[in-house]
Amino acid sequence: MINVILRRKARKTQKENGDEEGTVRNALSEHCLSHPNLDFALARYCHLWAYHSFMNLFLGTQTRTSQWITHHRIALA
C-alpha cells in the first residue's frame, strides 16, 4: 500500500521534473525497506521485553525476598 502511494507521488514529480527513472528509485529507496532485518524485529518487540524484565525484577525479587525473610525468621525463632 505504501509502495503504491510512493510510486504515485514519484510519477507525479517525474512528470513535473521530466526525469524518467531516477525519481521513482529515489522515492522508493528513501521510504521503503527491502526486507525486515534483525534490528527491525527487535524494535517491534522491545516494549514486550521491557515489560517482561520489569515483571521479572519485581516478582522475582518479591519471591526471593519472601523466602529469605521466611528463612531469616526461622533462624531467629
Residue range 6-43, pLDDT digits in tens: 666 666 666 666 555 554 455 445 545 445 555 555 55
pTM: 0.20
| Predicted local confidence at residue 39, as pLDDT | 57
The mean per-residue pLDDT over the stretch 47-75 comes to 55
Residues 41 and 63: beta-carbon distance below 8 Å: no
12 burial via Cβ count (<10 Å: 0-12, 13-18, 19+): exposed
Q: How far apart are CA 67 and CA 58, in angstroms?
A: 14
Average pLDDT over residues 63-77: 52
Query: For residues 4 and 10, what is the distance between their CA atoms, to the nearest angstrom?
Result: 10
DSSP class of residue 18 equals T
Structure confidence at residue 60 (pLDDT): 56
pLDDT at 57: 59
